[in-house]
A = this chain, B = another copy of it.
Amino acid sequence: MSIRYPNGKAYIPKQNDRNKVSKKNSISYGNRGMSLEEDINISNEYYLAKGIAVIHKKPTPLQIVKVDYPKRSAAVIKEAYFQQASTTDYNGVFKGKYIDFEAKETKNKTSFPLKNFHKHQIEHMGQVLSQQGICFALLRFSTIDEVYLLDAEHLCSFWYKQEHDRKSIPKSEIEALGHAIGNGLYPRIDYLSVVENIYFVH
């Protein structure tokens, strides 16, 4: 489903937005069919319950235009629009350090399209890096079920080069510069084990 903003930009509703509207779409068979977002949310719940980290997905930003305030019942938003996020979707704290990341998936098998990240997110990542925050992207190749952590510095570098270079990151580069994250049951995507190995000195 592709929708157009008044500015002519296409809006493709996220798996998550559609689930909010109709639960019918969220039936899953094991790990197959689970969106990356759902898997990360479940992993974050695990981390929270075990006291490992406090990481949440930010709510989708909406522009509210019209609200009804009926007597003796809840305020109802009658007109609102999806807004483009000015930051990444996930942030929180792990062992005192600030963690910030974006998660995206592609059906491609050999490269990751850079159009998955927009300018504001890339700028935000640069700002977080300047503040010595830990910042990265989780990239899933959904058809082959592989997830990689790629540090924001590499991602931003590819993103800024795309005008004169490739519009996607070759998978071979992601394998070389990033870190594979194994799939598990608890947590589903144990990205913090990888974060600990990369960013924390032992």
A contact set with B: CB distance below 8 Å:
1, 3-6, 11, 13, 17, 20-21, 48, 51, 53-54, 56, 58-67, 69-70, 72-82, 86-87, 91-100, 124, 127-128, 130-133
By secondary structure, the A interface counts as mixed
> A62 to B63, Cβ gap below 8 A?
no
A114 to chain B, nearest CB (A): 22
| Interfacial chain B residues near A73, Cβ < 8 Å | 3-6
Whole-angstrom CA separation of A91 from B130 in the bound complex: 16
A20 touches B133 (CB 8 A): no
Q: Which residues of B contact A70 (CB under 8 A)?
A: 3
User: Which residue on B lies nearest to A83, using beta carbons?
Assistant: B59
Q: Which residues in B have their C-beta under 8 angstroms from that of A96?
A: 97-98, 131-133
Tell me, rounded to whole Å, the shortest Cβ–Cβ distance linking A7 to chain B: 9
| Residues of B with C-beta under 8 A to A64 | 17, 20-21
The smallest C-beta distance from A20 to any residue of chain B, in angstroms, reads 5
Out of B54, B75, B79, B127, which one reaches A54, CB within 8 Å? B127
- By the criterion CB–CB under 8 Å, are B74 and A133 in contact? no
CB distance from A103 to the nearest CB of B (A): 17
